[in-house]
Amino acid sequence: MLAQLEKFYSQLRRIYTLGCIGALLDWDQKVTMPPEGGGDRAEQLELMSALSHQAMTDAAFLEVVDSLYEGRAALAPSDFVNVREMKRMLDRARCLPVDFVAHRSKVTTLCYQTWTEARAKDDWQAVAPQLEEIVSLCRQEAELIGYEEHPYDALLQGYEPGGKISQIKPLLERLGTSLAEIIPALREKFRSVPEVRGDYPEDLQSKFNLHLATACGYSLARGRLDPTHHPFQTSLGSRDIRITTHFYRNDYLSSVYSTLHEAGHALYEAGTLEKYKGTPMGMPVSLGIHESQSRLWENLIGRSKQFCRFMHATLKDYFPEEHRRITPEELWRMANKVTPSLIRIEADEVTYSLHVVIRLLLEEQLMTGKLAVKDLPDAWNNLYQKYLGIRPTDYKDGVMQDMHWYSGAIGYFPTYALGNLYGAMMLKVAERELPTLWSDVEQGKCTALLAWLRKNVHEPGMTYGGPELIKRISGQDLNEGPFLDYIKHKFAEI
C-alpha cells in the first residue's frame, strides 16, 4: 500500500505541475503575450492539455486509485480524502467515452468562437443551432454520467459535488422571490447617490487596489495584479497566485471591487496547506465555496460601512480630491447602489442572485426538454421582466451575454448564488467568534478574519463537501436566511 501511495502521489504531483504550466500559458496569453503569439500558443495549450489528460487517464494510475480505494478503510485520514476524491473525479471522467469527449470539445470550441462573433453582431440565429447541439450533448452527458433524481444533477455535480436541483432550486426560488420584493423600495432609496466621476489614472488605481487587497491579506510576494478585459484569478503554484482586474479611467470603484473579488479567490487558493499541494486535501471544495470567498471579500467585507470608511481614509493618499469631495457615508452608498440591470457581471449585490435564478430555471427546462433552444430568448426576456422588472431589447445584453452555455457549461451558474449564501452563513459565525471583527475592518486589519477563514474554510481542503462544511461551521444546513438578513439589515441602515 505504501508503494501504491507513493505512485499515487507522484502522479498527482505530475498532474498538478502540468496544470500549473497550463495556467501560465493561459495567464500569459491573456496578460503579456504579443498580439500575434496566438497561433503557437494554441498548439502549446493543446499539447499541455493532452499531457494532462494522459496523466489523468494513465491506466497504471487508474489501477492504483481503484486499488487504494478498495483498501480505503486502512488509509490515514488525509490519504483517505485524497483517494476518495480522486476516485470520484476519475469515475466521472471514465463514464465518458473518448470519442464523446473529443466530439464535445470540438463542438464547444466551435460554438464559443461563433458566439464571440455573433454576439458582437447581435446575431442569435448564427449561434442558436450550435447551442442546440450543445444542449443535446449536455443531455447525453448527463445520461452517460448517470444521476439519482434529475439529469441536471449530473452536470451540476461537475462544479458542485453533491449538489442536487431538488435542494438548490427551491432555495434559489425563495431567495429570488424575497429579493425581487425588496428591490422597488431600494431603487427609490438610491436615486440621490453621488456618481463616481473624474479621471483616475490606471497606475494610481492599481496602487490603490493593491493597498486595499493587501489589507485583506493578499501579498505581492506571492502574486501580481495586472489589467485584463475580463478579470480572473489563476494559480501557477502554491506561492504564485495571480489576479487581474479591469480599470475604467472614470470609475475607480469598479476595479476596486473586481480586485477584491479576485483577491478573495486568491486568498482561498493561498490558504490551503502547502503540505497537501496538488492533492484534493489542498484543493478548493467546489465552485460554490470558492465563490463564497470571493464574494465575502468583495461584498460582505468590501461593501461594508466599516471597510468603506477604511477605503475613504485610503483615498487620501491616492485620489485626494475624491477624498475631499465625498464623505465615508457617501462612499458607502455609492458602493452599494442597487439598480436592476440587464448584465449579470455588472449587477449589484441585491439583484445579482436574480440573474442566477433566471439562468437556473432556464437550464433546468433545457435539460428536461421542456424548453427548446429556439424559444430560449423569449423565455429569458419573460423571466427578466418577472424578476427584475426590465426586459432586454436585444440578444447581446440578453440571452447571449454570458459565455457559459456557448462553451458547454450548463450547471455552472447556480454556484454563483450559492457563494452568496455560503458566504453570509460563514460571516455570521465569524462575527460571533471575532468580537472585534468590524472595528478591525474599519482600520484595514483583516488578519483575524483571514485566519478564521483559513482554519474553518481553506485548510480542510476537500475533506468535506460544501453542505457538510457549512453545517460544521454554522450548525445549519445551507439556507438563504443569513444572506437575506444581511441584505435587509444593511439596506435598512443605508
Nearer to its own copies by Cβ, of 266 and 287: the residue is 266
Q: Is 411 left (phi over 0), alpha (psi -120 to 50) or beta?
A: left
CB closer to its own copies out of 41 and 471? 41
In the list 51, 273, 326, 451, the residue contacting its own copies (rule: CB under 8 A) is 51
* Candidates 34-42, 103-111, 117-125, 363-371; binding stretch for its own copies (CB under 8 A): 34-42
Whole-number Å distance between alpha carbons of 306 and 30: 34
479 burial (CB, 10 Å; 0-12 / 13-18 / 19+) is middle
From residue 295, alpha-carbon distances to 17, 185, 327, 421 in Å are 28, 24, 25, 10
Separation in Å, CA 279 to CA 80, 238, 242, 272, 274? 11, 12, 20, 10, 10
Exactly one of 56, 236, 281, 453 binds its own copies (CB under 8 A); which one? Answer: 236
Which part of the chain contacts its own copies (CB under 8 A), choosing from 71-79, 128-136, 235-243, 382-390? Answer: 235-243
Binding to its own copies by residue 43, rule CB under 8 A?
A: yes
DSSP 161: T
Residue 48 interacts with its own copies (CB under 8 A)? Answer: yes
Compare residues 227 and 481 and give the one whose CB is closer to its own copies: 227
Residue at 16: amino acid letter: Y
Q: How many residues bind its own copies (CB under 8 A)?
A: 34
For residues 66 and 87, is the Cβ–Cβ distance under 8 A? yes
- Let me know how many helices (H) and strands (E) the chain has, helices first: 21, 3
Q: How far is the CB of 110 from its own copies (least distance, A)?
A: 23
DSSP letters spanning 476-494: S-S-SHHHHHHHHHHHHH-
Smallest distance, Å, CB 198 to its own copies? 23
Q: Out of 20, 138, 296, 311, name the contact with its own copies by CB under 8 A.
A: 20
Which residue among 8, 11, 12, 25 contacts its own copies (CB under 8 A)?
25
Q: Which of these segments, 32-40, 109-117, 324-332, 398-406, binds its own copies (CB under 8 A)?
A: 32-40
Shortest Cβ distance from residue 56 to its own copies (Å)? Answer: 15
Q: How far is CA 184 from CA 203, 242, 340, 463, in A?
A: 38, 39, 9, 42
Q: Which of 6, 40, 199, 477 binds its own copies (CB under 8 A)?
A: 40
* Nearer Cβ to its own copies (35/77): 35
With respect to its own copies, which residue has the nearer C-beta, 219 or 479? 219
Identify which of residues 48 and 399 has a Cβ nearer to its own copies in the complex: 48
Among 1, 6, 10, 37, binds its own copies (CB under 8 A): 37
Whether 471 contacts 294, CB under 8 Å = no
Tell me: does residue 240 bind its own copies (CB under 8 A).
Answer: yes
CB 444 within 8 A of CB 310: yes
Answer whether 383's CB lies under 8 Å from 361's CB. yes
Binding to its own copies (CB under 8 A) within 209-228 occurs at: 220-224
CA distances from residue 75 to 28, 67, 78 in whole angstroms, order as listed: 40, 12, 8
Q: Does 77 bind its own copies (CB under 8 A)?
A: no
- Smallest distance, its own copies to C-beta of residue 24, A: 6
Using alpha carbons, list the distances in angstroms from residue 464 to 161, 421, 443: 10, 17, 34
> At closest approach, how far in Å is the CB of 47 from its own copies?
5
Tell me how far the alpha carbon of residue 249 is from its chain's centroid: 26
Whole-number minimum distance, CB 242 to its own copies, in Å? 8
Q: At a CB cut-off of 8 Å and minimum separation 6, what does 191 contact?
A: none
Min dist CB 219 to its own copies, Å, is: 8
265 in contact with its own copies (CB under 8 A) = no
3-state secondary structure of 233: strand
Q: Is 6 in the site for its own copies (CB under 8 A)?
A: no
The minimum distance between CB 206 and its own copies, in angstroms, equals 14
Q: Footprint of its own copies on residues 158-217 (CB under 8 A)?
A: none
Q: Which of the ranges 57-65, 70-78, 157-165, 236-244 carries the binding residues for its own copies, by CB under 8 A?
A: 236-244
Residue 195 per-residue DSSP state: P
Nearer to its own copies, 18 or 421 (CB): 18
Q: How far apart are CA 377 and CA 127, in angstroms?
A: 12
- 118, 69 Cβ separation under 8 angstroms: no
Q: Is 188 a catalytic residue?
A: no
Candidate list 85, 262, 349, 480, residue with the active-site label: 262
At 237, list the grid cell.
503554484
d(C-alpha 337, C-alpha 67), whole Å: 55
Among 1, 6, 10, 47, binds its own copies (CB under 8 A): 47
Q: Which residue, chain included where needed, has cell 476516485?
A: 87
- Binding residues for its own copies, per CB under 8 A? 13-14, 17-18, 20-21, 24-25, 28, 32-37, 39-41, 43-44, 47-48, 51, 220-224, 236-240, 242
Q: Residues with catalytic annotation? A: 262
